Amino acid sequence: MSVHLDREIGRLKKTILSLCALVEEQAQIAVQALLERDEEAAREVESRDTEIDHREVEIEEDCLKILALYQPVAADLRFIVSALKINNDLERIGDLAVNIARKAITFASQPPMEIPFDLGRMWQKVQGMLRDSLDAMVNLDARLANEVCGRDDEVDEIKHEIRQRAEDMIRIEPEKTAALLTLVAVSRNLERIADHATNIAEDVIYMVEGHIVRHAPLDNGSAGRARPR
């Protein structure tokens, strides 16, 4: 039975990685659509969201089937439990990509303006977190997962800087308020994608080491932050 279980887990890993690739592509297209004011590309992101929803349901059904048929224990059980959570995080990232695409459509309809924030750089950091969290899952690499968790604060800081600069610009150029608020909303969605990447990394740590770090105290003694699921 263990041979069959190993085969099913290997197939499940490939399916999750396939979903991650699709989700990452959706976010990439959405951000690019915003930067290039490409309404057509943004609408493509919206239209592909149902594919992500269908894949999420399929992965959940696969996890439940493995639990029912093989009754895994120890590390295998932790993997299936983590896979269910990671699957949910990936679907939520897909929803956030759609949110960004909709903001891209809104931004394209507003008077042209140069984007005063480096949202492309912010996305690159978020994308790196997402890729590394999945690499950590595939390779059972708790060290890399911990590193991903540590990078979340960098993205939070960029979001804070963007909001602060937008507030300053609105005071000087109030006619740009609508466009600036749209861009701030995009930065908030990117920050939430980073939160979900962090969730995935924390689930990898649980998968490998068997303990939950989501609400563990931080170095300063305060409780860890709860993130959206």
H-run or E-run covering 4:
helix 2-36
157 vs 155: CA distance, rounded Å: 5
Q: What is the pLDDT of residues 76-116, one digit of tens each?
A: 999 999 999 999 999 999 999 999 999 999 999 999 999 99
Q: What is the pLDDT of residues 107-137, one digit of tens each?
A: 999 999 999 999 999 999 999 999 999 899 8
Pick 2-209's CATH classification: 1.20.58.220, 1.25.10.10, 3.40.50.1370, 1.20.1290.10. 1.20.58.220
Look up the pTM and report it. Answer: 0.91
Identify which of 92, 11, 85, 79 has the alpha carbon closest to the alpha carbon of residue 52.
Answer: 92
Mean pLDDT, range 201-211, rounded to an integer: 91
Identify which of 183, 226, 139 has the alpha carbon closest to the alpha carbon of residue 31.
Answer: 183
| Residue 187: band (very low, low, confident or very high) from pLDDT cuts 50, 70, 90 | very high
**pLDDT at res. 148:** 97
Identify which of 177, 197, 184 has the alpha carbon closest to the alpha carbon of residue 34.
Answer: 184
46 vs 165: CA distance, rounded Å: 29
Identify which of 8, 18, 24 has the alpha carbon closest to the alpha carbon of residue 56.
Answer: 18
Q: What is the pLDDT of residues 8-53, one digit of tens each?
A: 999 999 999 999 999 999 999 999 999 999 999 999 999 999 999 9
Q: Are 117 and 185 in contact (CB under 8 A)?
A: no
